Structure 1
Amino acid sequence: MTRQMRGGEAAGRPVQPSDTRRASKADQVYENIKEAILSGGLEPGVAIDKIALSERLGMSRFPITTAINRLAYERLVVIEPQHGSFVAKISAEDVRELMLIRRSLEAEIAGDAALRLGAEALAELERSLRYQEAAAAARDYAGFYALDVEFHRLIIVGAQLRHAKEILEGIRTHLERIRRLLLTPPGRLPNTLAEHRSVADALRARNPAAAREAMRTHLIETTVLFETIARERPNLFSA
C-alpha cells in the first residue's frame, strides 16, 4: 500500500536536521553576497570565486551554489557555463526607465503630501535633515544613503499612499545599486541635502506646486548624475 507523504517530509524521506542547516547556510551566503553587490563591495563584472568563498566561510560549495542560483534568478548574478559566476552589470536602460517612473510618481506624491502631512511627520522630516547634515559633514556615505531612503519613505508614508509606497519600494530595490553610486561624487552629499531641504520647506509651507517642483528637480539631478557616471564608468553597465 502506498504511504502518503506527510507534512515535514521531502519526497520519499523525512526532512533531516542537515537539510535545515544547509538551507540556513544558503540563506546566510545569499544575504552576504547580495549586500556586497547592492553596497558596491562587489562591483559589476567581478567574478564570484566559489572555492574561495567555501574556504573562507568554512562550508561546502552546495549552499554557495544554491545562493548564487538564487541571485542569478534575481538578475544580480550572471552564470556563464564553463566560465563561472559574475556580478551582473547594471542595465542602463532599466535604470533610465525606472528613474522616469520614480521621478513622475514621487513628484506627484510630494504635491499631495504638502496637503496631507501632519505636524509629527513634518517634525520627523526635520529630524532626518539634521541627521543628514551630520552624516554629510562626516562623509558617512552609508549613513547618508540610509537617511536618504528614510527621507523619501517618510514623505510617502506621511501622505498615507499605501499603493504608491508598494510600487516605489519595488523600484527602490532595483535602483539600490545605482543610488549608492550617485552619492559618491565630490559635493553630492551637500547638494542632495540642499535639495531635500527645498522639498521639506515646500511641504512645511503647504505649497503643492513648490513641493512637486522641488522633488522633480531633485530627481532630475540624480538622473543627470547617473548619465555622467554611465559615461565615465561604462564597465559597470550593460546597454
Structure 2
Amino acid sequence: MPALKVGASGEGRESIGAMGERVNSKADQVYDELKEAILAGALDPGAPIDKIALCERLGVSRFPVSAAVSRLAFESLVVIEPQHGSFVARISGAEVRERMFIRRALECEIAAEAARRLPKDGFLALEENLARGREAVDAGDRPRFYAQDVGFHQVLTTHLGLHRSSEVLDGLRTHLERVRRMLMLPQGRIRETLAEHSEIVAAIKAGDVGRARAAMDRHLAVTAENFESFARERPELISA
C-alpha cells in the first residue's frame, strides 16, 4: 500500500482527522445503543453480545463495535472472555450494596443541608421537577420519569453548589443505573418514588433538617430493600 502523502496544505492531515472522527462517531453510536440496551434491560446480564449481528444491523465494521465493547468493559457493563466472546456483565451484589451505602450516606446529608440553606431558585427547580415527574407518571412515560428521578437529586447538589458531591454521585449513579431501572419496572414503584420525592421537598421547605434527612433515608432504604428482594427472586442475574 503506498504511503499517504501529506502536502504543504495539510490535506493529508485533514483526511486522517476526518477519518478518525468518522470512526469515533460510529464507535460512539454503537456504544450509546449497546449501553442503553444493557441499562434498559433489553439485554439480560450474562447474555452474549453478537458483534457480527451488531455490525450488520448498524452498518459498521468490526472496529467500532470492538471499541464500543471495550469501553463498556471498562465501565464493568460487559465482560470480555478471550476465546469465548463478550457478555453482558452480571450485576455484582457486593458492588451494588457498597455503592448504595455510599450514596445513602451522602444524599441524606445533602437533604439535611438543603433544609438548612437551599436558595429560592432551588425550591422552584424542585417544584418544577415534581410537576414534570407527575406528568411523566400520568402519561406512563418511563424514560421521562427516569430522567426526572435523576434530575431531582441533581437539583439539590447544583443549587447547593456541591460540585464534588455531584461528581461522586454521578459516578455511583452510572453503576447503579441498571439496577435502578429494573427496580422501577412496576408502575406502582414509580408512583411511590414520586410520593417520596414530595415528602423530601416538604421537609426541605419546612426547614426541618432531621425530617429531611429521615425522608431521604427512607427513600433510599426502600431502594436497598427492593434490591434485596430482586436478588432473591432473580439470583441468576446477580453475582456475589
- TM > 0.5: yes
* 1:82-115 alpha-carbon deviations (Å, 9 max, x no partner): 2211111111110000101111110011001111
Deviation at 1:211, TM superposition (A): 0.4
Residue 144 (structure 1) shift:
1.0
Amino acid at match of 1:56: R
Distance 2:212 2:17 in 1: 57
- Looking at structure 2, the residues matched to 20 and 232 of structure 1 have their Cα atoms a distance apart, in angstroms, of 45
Give the Cα separation in 1 of the matches to 2:58 and 2:162. 43
RMSD over equivalenced CA pairs, Å: 1.7
Identity of aligned residues (%): 53
> Superposed, which structure 2 residues align to 1:51-200 within 5 Å?
51-200=52-201
SS in 2 for 1:206: coil
Offset, 1:132: 1.3
Is the 1:26–1:66 contact (alpha carbons within 8 Å) kept by the matching residues of 2? yes
CA distance in 2, matches of 1:17, 1:191: 49
Deviates more, 1:148-157 or 1:59-68: 59-68
Q: Number of paired residues?
A: 227
Specify the alignment match of 2:219 in structure 1: 218
Displacement of 1:39:
2.2
Q: Closer, same or farther in 2 for the Cα pair 1:18/1:100, shift >3 Å?
A: same
Which runs of 5 or more structure 2 residues have no equivalent in the other structure? 1-9
- Deviations along 1:140-184, whole A, 9 cap, x unmatched? 221111100001111121222222111111111111111111211
- 58 and 219 in structure 1: CA distance in 2 versus 1, 3 angstrom threshold: same
Scaled by the length of structure 1, the TM-score of the pair is: 0.89
For structure 1, the 5+ residue unaligned runs are 1-8
Q: Secondary structure at the match of 1:41?
A: coil
- Greater CA deviation, 194-203 or 53-62? 53-62
TM superposition outliers: structure 1 runs of 4+ over 6 Å: none
1:36 corresponds to: 37
The one-letter amino acid paired with 2:26 is K
**1:19–1:163: structure 2 CA closer, same or farther, 3 Å change rule?**
closer
Q: CA deviation at 1:186?
A: 4.3
What letter corresponds to residue 230 of structure 1 in structure 2?
A
